[in-house]
Homo-oligomer: A and B are copies of this chain.
Amino acid sequence: MEIGFIGLGHMGFPMVANLLANGYAVRVYDTSDAAVAKAVEQGAMAAQSLIDLTQSADAIITMLPTPAVVRSVLCVPGGVIANAKQNALIIDCSTSDPQTAVEVEALGAVAGKIVLDAPVSGGVLGAKAGTLTFMVGGSKDGFLLAKSILSAMGKNIVHCGAAGSGQAAKLCNNLLLGVSTVAVSESMCLGASLGLEPEVLAQIINTSSGRCWVSELYNPYPGVVKDAPASNNFAGGFACDLMIKDLSLALDAAHGTRQPLPMTSVSKQLFQLLSHQGHGDKDISAIVEMFKK
């Protein structure tokens, strides 16, 4: 079985490496020749063109930066959906928006291809370790076909529901991550300003009703969690500008369903202020610097 993989960025490259390590034949495509060459070094085959990859592969995985790029690769006349083999499995792992996923999958169905949305969580570290979570939207049958492939790259493969559900679940989770990061920053900085030791405060929160993933594993107050970005000058991790992208996708999706999201909206604006001050490439926990004395 040959897998076509489109998009060899920070996430795509280690995902390909794990597919290869699990014995899959992988043909790759990227607009960067250097990225392709690096994947070939790991054992991948280089596609001559997008259409070459598309016509050759049994399953195609895309890992692309924005919904617009996803549409331009999958949905145009010379694109993946039009040219893939009949009944090919097309798995879009990009973080996109539910509406795009719904439309892409409808187009796939018309063309006789099985399309799934399968955005990931776990970041670059999870991609390297093969421990990503995949949130999968699309038909149950498609999900069952995709599961073994995705298992080569992740350890938690969840079927969220119909087309678009994977994207919806990812956005719903990530807005919580965004809000929590700001809220834990506020809480820790208020505590510090009132004389509490940050370690003591974190310990109390983590055994109380304020406890969350951010307070426990990703505490934005420097020094509280040793290997968190906040203890490493806010390097690595999840860039502020990427969080702005995800919060914007959530707000756009909410606009579509006329859903109010006040806290999400304020958290986006605060990350935008941080980015505006020149810190868009720092980890999201750098928001703590807006509150810390």
Contacts and interface: CB of A to CB of B under 8 A. Distances in A.
A263 B186 contact: yes
Contacts of A201: 160, 169, 172
A167 to B, nearest CB: 8
Interface in A143-196: 156, 158, 160-162, 164-165, 168-169, 171-177, 179-180, 182-184, 186-191, 193-196
A289 to B, nearest CB: 10
A175 to B, nearest CB: 6
B213 A210 contact: yes
Contacts of A203: 158
Which of A212, A254, A267, A268 has the most C-beta atoms of chain B within 10 angstroms of its own C-beta?
A212
A262 B258 contact: no
B260 A272 contact: yes
A275 interface: yes
A259 B193 contact: yes
A260 to B, nearest CB: 4
Contact of A184 (B174, B176, B211): B176
A124 B109 CA distance: 45
A200 B166 CA distance: 11
A161 B196 contact: yes
Contact of A196 (B160, B188, B204, B262): B160
Interface in A240-265: 248, 250-251, 253-255, 257-265
- By secondary structure, the A interface counts as helix
Nearest to A168: B194
A164 B164 CA distance: 33
Contact of A176 (B158, B183, B248, B261): B183
Given A135-B204, A193-B257, A254-B193, A209 B275 contact: no
A263 B250 CA distance: 18
B261 A194 contact: no
A229 interface: no
A290 interface: yes
A263 B260 contact: no
B263 A183 contact: yes
The 5 closest A-B pairs by CB, nearest first: A176-B210, A212-B212, A193-B257, A168-B194, A173-B210
Interface of A: 98, 121, 133, 135, 156, 158, 160-162, 164-165, 168-169, 171-177, 179-180, 182-184, 186-191, 193-197, 200-201, 203-205, 207-215, 218, 248, 250-251, 253-255, 257-270, 272-273, 275-276, 280, 290-291, 293
